[in-house]
């Protein structure tokens, strides 16, 4: 019935969002229809526009509307250093630190055999081309320090070193502001191994 299907269709469509099950989707649908129809209309339009306009940067693979993103076009950045991150969110976290002025390569994922993501899905070939262009002198791997992020870093390291590219990895260690008593043992062990001269 049409009566049921527009509401059910919305609930069904909301479930395509990551982390949204049928109860959350129902709650969202009821809320939007009852209290925020303007927001629903806005979201409808924003989705439509983003799908139509947003694509991947030809150089760094991040989301962009022109064919090359603003960061890659920025002349003031150090193009000898290339930082590899999993997602645009990770890139934006690094940008907020203001500790890095080089360029990025965004994998848009990580190697994860269980989810069916292999080296092709993270644009390994594209990264190798970019890193071997003669301008890039150092590739800094800033994938997450999770099992999958570490595995991805390992695969990238092997592939890049084979082509003579200098590869570094973000330092592992005790987070700033933390007390040793509450830091997990794996982190302390790594911090011990990677200790540096004071």
9 binds its own copies (CB under 8 A): yes
Neighbours of 146 (CB within 10 A): 12
In whole angstroms, give the CA distance from residue 68 to residue 59.
Answer: 6
In whole angstroms, give the CA distance from residue 56 to residue 121.
Answer: 13
Considering the complex, state which of residue 36 and residue 194 has its C-beta at the smaller distance from its own copies. Answer: 36
153 binds its own copies (CB under 8 A): no
Considering the complex, state which of residue 42 and residue 147 has its C-beta at the smaller distance from its own copies. Answer: 42
Of the residues 60, 64, 136, 143, which one makes contact with its own copies according to CB under 8 A:
64
Cα 131 versus chain centre, distance? 19
192 binds its own copies (CB under 8 A): no
Q: Would you say 139 and 167 are in contact if contact means Cβ atoms under 8 Å apart?
A: yes
Considering the complex, state which of residue 33 and residue 192 has its C-beta at the smaller distance from its own copies. Answer: 33
Both tokens of residue 180?
Answer: 């040793």
Piece of 34-42, 149-157, 163-171, 178-186 that binds its own copies (CB under 8 A): 34-42
Of the residues 58, 70, 125, 129, which one makes contact with its own copies according to CB under 8 A:
70
- Give the DSSP per-residue string, 103-132: EEEE-SS--BGGGTB-GGGGTHHHHHHHHT
Piece of 33-41, 139-147, 174-182, 187-195 that binds its own copies (CB under 8 A): 33-41
Cα-flanking dihedrals φ and ψ of residue 85, to 5°?
-125, 165
In whole angstroms, give the CA distance from residue 27 to residue 31.
Answer: 6
Considering the complex, state which of residue 33 and residue 189 has its C-beta at the smaller distance from its own copies. Answer: 33
Indicate the pairing of strand 138-141 with strand 166-169. parallel
Interface residues with its own copies (CB under 8 A) are 1-4, 6-7, 9-10, 12-14, 16-19, 23-24, 26-34, 36-37, 39-51, 53-54, 63-66, 69-70, 87-89, 108-109
């Amino acid at each position: 019935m049409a009566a049921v299907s527009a509401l059910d269709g919305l609930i069904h469509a909301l479930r395509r969002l990551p982390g949204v099950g049928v109860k959350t989707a129902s709650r969202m649908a009821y809320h939007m229809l009852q209290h925020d129809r303007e927001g629903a209309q806005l979201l409808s339009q924003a989705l439509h526009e983003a799908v139509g306009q947003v694509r991947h940067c030809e150089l760094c693979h991040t989301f962009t509307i022109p064919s090359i993103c603003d960061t890659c076009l920025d002349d003031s950045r150090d193009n000898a250093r290339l930082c590899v991150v999993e997602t645009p969110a990770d890139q934006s976290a690094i940008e907020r630190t203001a500790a890095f002025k080089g360029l990025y390569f965004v994998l848009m994922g990580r190697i994860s055999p269980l989810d069916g993501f292999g080296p092709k899905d993270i644009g390994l070939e594209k990264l190798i081309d970019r890193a071997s262009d003669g301008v890039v002198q150092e590739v800094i791997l800033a994938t997450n320090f999770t099992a999958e992020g570490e595995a991805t870093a390992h695969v990238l390291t092997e592939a890049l070193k084979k082509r003579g590219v200098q590869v570094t990895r973000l330092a592992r260690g005790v987070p700033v502001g933390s007390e040793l008593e509450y830091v997990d043992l794996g982190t302390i062990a790594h911090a011990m191994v990677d200790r540096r001269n004071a």
